[in-house]
Chains A and B, each alone.
Chain A
Amino acid sequence: MPTTAPTGPAPGLAAYADVTTSDATLRRFLHGLPGVDQVGAEARAAALGTRSIKTTAKAWALDLAIRMVDLTTLEGQDTPGKVRALASKALRPDPADPSCPSVAAVCVYGDLVGDVKAIVGDAVNVAAVATAFPSGRASMEVKLADTRDAVANGADEIDMVIDRGAFLAGRYLQVFDEIVATREACARADGSHAHLKVIFETGELQTYDNVRRASWLAMLAGADFIKTSTGKVQPAATLPVTLVMLEAVRDFREATGVQIGVKPAGGIRTTKDAIKYLVMVNEIAGDDWLDPDWFRFGASTLLNDLLMQRTKMTTGRYSGPDYFTLD
């Protein structure tokens, strides 16, 4: 995953500079994007969900899915002890099987970044939620301070939330500016910057048209990743929402040359679901995205199911939860 900002906007991106000069131009642009027909999008997602991934393909997909997990705990009751345990699991998800890969990152609240970092070092990334997660309802100063704090604590990645109120009220430029400012707050003294994931909370945006607009808005503002949900609102990640976001990153790269990652988060609990997402990544965005640098699962319980399935593949028998660590 690239951790330094490009020196200037990509040439393709420069063509969109006019779009963000005012609320009116941004609105015109976002509302000029092709609509998304809900029924058609959901039917497409469901159809991809019927792909049958077996044997060697499944083994390959399982390891990839594990490598894509952002192992997450975002509870008020989180403690250094809890997140350290999670960090250990992230490093070695299946202590009995050294061939099992590590996950992509551990995702926690900003104040616990140091505790995770102490365990994982540079082997696994540490992601911190910021900007008054999960509601995003705080002043800009507070959100930026939240972000800087997490970066200062050593976060490799920042998962910010957008102001859904502003988005739904049509104040797109405000949302845009907040993302730009947060991205600036991700900068480190050495010139590198923490990777920025922008959470839409698609369950609150409600329509796929909004998801497509939010995707373009965030990508234009400099997001490294676009992410569905906080996990605190239902529905969280769904296949069709992710489909629309994958279409957006695909189209954005085609238009600008800039590749953006996608992270569905919340509600993905089973291997079967995870594989459906991977099939969708493969067939919608293409195999360039089949990499932890470009696709992540925000999840917690998913990991154990992946591990159980992985064990089934290697041993030929079904396993049980007693054989896998809680965290």
Chain B
Amino acid sequence: MARIDVRKTYKLYIGGAFPRSESGHSYEVTDSKGKFVANAALASRKDVRDAVVAARKAAAGWAGRTAYNRGQILYRIAEVMEDRRPQFEEAVRQSEGVTAAVARGQVDAAVDRLVWYAGWADKLAQVIGNANPVAGPFFNHTAPEPTGVVGVLAPQESSLLGLVSVVAPVVVTGNVAVVVSSYERPLPAVTFSEVLATSDVPGGVVNILTGDAATLGPWLAAHMDVNAIDLGGVAGDTELATSLEVAAADNLKRVRRAPAAEPDWAAEPDLSAMTAFVEAKTVWHPIGI
């Protein structure tokens, strides 16, 4: 008789731990053909609240790491992912209904994207910061700093590459993230959170909630202790995106607007995913004897 496999419970990832939803709710996740795969935790507004608290707690420590250290940790995530490629391939194949080869391509691209962003950790400040030649005896320079707690509505379609493409730029710049995964394709995100938990990423730096962006987005957008929000996960839903942007104005969150349609994540990224969530700080000091 065949062995009965041990199935995994898919949980949320908050503050470095894997809790079930505070609400006790879960939802059925199916593969692309509608076949039951697993029950995922259905994150509630209180999970959003907890995740923001965890993120805020981690923010200063993560921002205070050296850029080199953050780069090392992002690279470490890539290493651990690489190790688990077959698992991710299967998850992507199942979630997105693509062929194994396409799924493998997505996984490889996701790993490579992490490596690409890892390298930016100690270079972005050099590329977008500068010394300013002011007309007076002052040393004056501008450098980017992390915005803080960033809410990320992850892409709905690209369950892994899309996810990595929006999370990596947020954390490599020193921000912390509260991520709402793809609603229908959440399982690669959960596996990704397991990678994060074993990759030297401090607890709370990335928090991943499986659930509905339309339900959780408003709480995240209106949360007064969230500094910025990436609305990419509601691409195409202009009405929802607009209402989230309106809510985000309550504390003037930096908003990365939702595009009309989900972009091609295989395309080479530019700096915009990082520059959307940094603050230019300018420091003056007199020059004298």
Contacts and interface: CB of A to CB of B under 8 A. Distances in A.
Whether both chains belong to one complex is answered with yes
Interface in B130-159: 136-138
Interface in B264-288: 286-288
Nearest to B138: A39
Contacts of B289: 38, 206-207
A243 to B, nearest CB: 14
Nearest to A209: B289
A37 interface: yes
B139 to A, nearest CB: 10
A191 interface: no
A40 interface: yes
Interface in A204-230: 206-207
A210 to B, nearest CB: 10
Interface of B: 136-138, 286-289
Contacts, number: 16
A38 B289 CA distance: 6
Contacts of B288: 37-39, 42
Residue from the set A37, A39, A42, A206 with the largest chain B CB neighbour count within 10 Å: A39
16 contacts: A37-B286, A37-B288, A38-B137, A38-B286, A38-B288, A38-B289, A39-B136, A39-B137, A39-B138, A39-B286, A39-B287, A39-B288, A40-B286, A42-B288, A206-B289, A207-B289
Contacts of A207: 289
Interface string A233-273: 00000000000000000000000000000000000000000
Interface string A50-68: 0000000000000000000
Interface residues of A, number: 7
A40 B287 CA distance: 10
Nearest to A207: B289
Interface of A is mostly: helix
Nearest to B287: A39
Given A39-B137, A42-B288, 14 more contacts: A37-B286, A37-B288, A38-B137, A38-B286, A38-B288, A38-B289, A39-B136, A39-B138, A39-B286, A39-B287, A39-B288, A40-B286, A206-B289, A207-B289
A207 B288 CA distance: 9
Contacts of A37: 286, 288
A40 B136 CA distance: 12
Contacts of A42: 288
A42 B136 CA distance: 12
Nearest to B286: A39
Contacts of B138: 39
A4 B287 CA distance: 45
B119 to A, nearest CB: 39
Contacts of B137: 38-39
B285 to A, nearest CB: 9
A194 to B, nearest CB: 35
A3 B146 CA distance: 67
Interface in A21-42: 37-40, 42
Contacts of A38: 137, 286, 288-289
A288 B137 CA distance: 34
Nearest to B288: A38
Contacts of B287: 39
Nearest to A40: B286
Contacts of A39: 136-138, 286-288
A206 B288 CA distance: 11
A208 B138 CA distance: 18
B188 to A, nearest CB: 56
Interface in A64-109: none
A40 B285 CA distance: 11
A39 B288 CA distance: 6
Contacts of B286: 37-40
B286 to A, nearest CB: 3
A159 to B, nearest CB: 27
Give 10 closest A-B pairs by Cβ, nearest first. Answer: A38-B288, A39-B286, A39-B288, A39-B137, A207-B289, A38-B289, A37-B286, A37-B288, A40-B286, A39-B287
Contacts of B136: 39
B284 to A, nearest CB: 10
A42 B286 CA distance: 11
Nearest to A41: B288
B270 to A, nearest CB: 40
Contacts of A40: 286
A208 to B, nearest CB: 8
A169 B137 CA distance: 29
Contacts of A206: 289
A245 B138 CA distance: 25
Nearest to A38: B288
B53 to A, nearest CB: 42
Residue from the set B136, B286, B287 with the largest chain A CB neighbour count within 10 Å: B286
A40 B284 CA distance: 13
A40 B289 CA distance: 11
A185 B210 CA distance: 90
A39 B136 CA distance: 9
A204 to B, nearest CB: 14
A39 B140 CA distance: 14
A2 to B, nearest CB: 37
A104 B288 CA distance: 36
A282 to B, nearest CB: 26
Nearest to A210: B289
A235 to B, nearest CB: 13
A258 to B, nearest CB: 30
